[in-house]
């Protein structure tokens, strides 16, 4: 049974119920003071606790899709080890893709069937959300994605029209499922487009790590996963090759929440010729190594410089400002990064521009990010230009 299958969840719940019932029934028999009675009490408590925790863990994972398979949970892949591996020289880090089969490949539902409130009906009226796999031509990395295509994408009068695109990144260790089910990104965008408040836009929902369960933080790791190259070069190339999206950076934006928001800022500020705008909800402003990331910056003389260049405050102080527009979402109370957000916004200088969505109160959770999302989408809509080129023009 699959890790996220309902049958596994129901079976584990049944096991937990049976364990609780057996504990209640057998407990009087373990009332003595001998070793057998002691071991019986200990075994019943441990067995019941493990069954209940396993059932709760499966329920939470099924709801939030932190891990979509047993292989991903255990860090195992058929082709290669998933965590820290040498990039090149016969080794990989994460599942390796085959670009010759297409840079955007049709995938199974990958949880899409569990997302509530997705557009229903003919695509030319309601739009459509697709489940795909994006394969990097340079990195050979693979990342699952949901792609929201607005109704206009399927309408005859737009048949040759290219569309602006937003690459949306989840936090870690979540994935595209969370962007659909809990952030409700495609549902919110569809509502705004239907109301005429937002231009038709293709939205690509992805997770920020390309080598799960390792948190790659959108960094090109020396000798490891090339996550920055994947999102800054491979993903745009793949999307342009498969969908009718614009070529010019003026039609490209990136957004995310939590670590996905951190990635959005990093990508836009480091690659302003790819992304012209970034919206970050509850981001961090520098990348640091921790047990989930491993060594992100390598060793040797270049380590310090690589770490500094992924510190956005250091970049604002020491490097020319990029020509991008950014939006930061934060809360005065409830978010520990509010002082860092104020310092970042104060450090921005032309030609870079920055705006903010500041709530009076909001914690680091989906309830807060859903409140910020409509404003972030409308802000992003004002930054992106509708592509003038059409299909058939390079």
Q: Which tokens hold the place of 375?
A: 């404003």
| Whether the Cβ atoms of residue 198 and residue 192 lie closer than 8 Å to each other | yes
> What's the pLDDT at 63?
54
Residues 6+ apart with CB under 8 A from 312: 265, 266, 269, 285, 286, 344
| Whether the Cβ atoms of residue 202 and residue 153 lie closer than 8 Å to each other | yes
> What's the pLDDT at 148?
98
Question: 213 preceded by cis ω (within 30°)?
Answer: yes
Q: What angle do CA 141, 173, 94 make, to 5 degrees?
A: 25
Cα(105)–Cα(144) distance, integer angstroms: 9
CA 185 to chain centre: 12
> What's the pLDDT at 70?
64
Residues 6+ apart with CB under 8 A from 363: 331, 334, 335
> What's the pLDDT at 393?
59
> What's the pLDDT at 21?
87
Do β-strands 128-135 and 104-106 pair in parallel, antiparallel, or remain unpaired?
A: antiparallel
Strand partners, 142: 135
Tell me which DSSP letter residue 42 carries: H
> What's the pLDDT at 96?
65
> What's the pLDDT at 90?
36
> What's the pLDDT at 16?
84
Local mean pLDDT, 10-residue blocks, the chain (394 residues): 70 86 81 78 85 80 57 47 32 60 88 89 95 94 96 95 97 90 96 96 95 90 94 97 95 97 97 97 93 89 91 96 96 91 96 95 92 96 89 65
Phi/psi for 209 (5° steps) reads -95, 140
> What's the pLDDT at 91?
35
> What's the pLDDT at 233?
97
Cα(319)–Cα(165) distance, integer angstroms: 28
């Amino acid at each position: 049974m699959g890790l996220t299958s309902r049958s596994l969840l129901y079976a584990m719940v049944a096991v937990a119920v049976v364990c609780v019932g057996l504990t209640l029934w057998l407990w009087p028999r373990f009332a003595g003071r001998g070793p057998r009675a002691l071991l019986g009490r200990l075994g019943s408590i441990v067995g019941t606790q493990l069954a209940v925790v396993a059932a709760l863990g499966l329920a939470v994972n099924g709801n939030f899709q932190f891990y979509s398979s047993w292989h991903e949970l255990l860090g195992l892949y058929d082709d290669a080890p998933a965590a820290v591996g040498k990039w090149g020289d016969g080794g990989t880090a994460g599942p390796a893709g085959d670009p010759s089969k297409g840079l955007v490949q049709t995938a199974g539902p990958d949880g899409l069937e569990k997302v509530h409130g997705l557009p229903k009906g003919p695509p030319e009226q309601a739009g459509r959300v697709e489940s795909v796999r994006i394969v990097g031509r340079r990195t050979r990395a693979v990342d699952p994605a949901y792609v929201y295509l607005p109704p206009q994408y399927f309408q005859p009068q737009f048949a040759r029209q290219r569309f602006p695109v937003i690459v949306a990144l989840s936090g870690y260790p979540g994935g595209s499922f969370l962007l659909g089910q809990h952030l409700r990104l495609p549902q919110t965008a569809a509502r705004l487009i239907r109301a005429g408040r937002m231009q038709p836009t293709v939205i690509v929902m992805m997770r920020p790590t390309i080598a799960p369960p390792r948190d790659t933080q959108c960094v090109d790791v020396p000798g490891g996963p090339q996550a920055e190259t994947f999102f800054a070069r491979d993903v745009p190339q793949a999307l342009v090759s498969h969908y009718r999206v614009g070529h010019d950076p003026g039609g490209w934006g990136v957004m995310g929440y939590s670590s996905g928001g951190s990635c959005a800022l990093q990508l836009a500020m480091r690659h302003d010729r790819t992304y012209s705008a970034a919206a970050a909800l509850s981001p961090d402003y520098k990348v640091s190594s921790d047990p989930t990331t491993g060594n992100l910056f390598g060793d040797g003389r270049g380590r310090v410089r690589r770490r500094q260049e992924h510190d956005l405050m250091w970049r604002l102080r020491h490097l020319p400002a990029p020509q991008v527009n950014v939006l930061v979402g934060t809360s005065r109370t409830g978010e520990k990064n509010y002082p860092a957000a104020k310092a970042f916004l104060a450090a921005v200088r032309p030609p870079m521009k920055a705006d903010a969505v500041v709530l009076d109160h909001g914690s680091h959770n989906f309830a807060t990010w859903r409140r910020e999302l409509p404003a972030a989408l409308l802000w992003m809509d004002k930054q992106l230009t509708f592509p003038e080129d059409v299909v058939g023009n390079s």
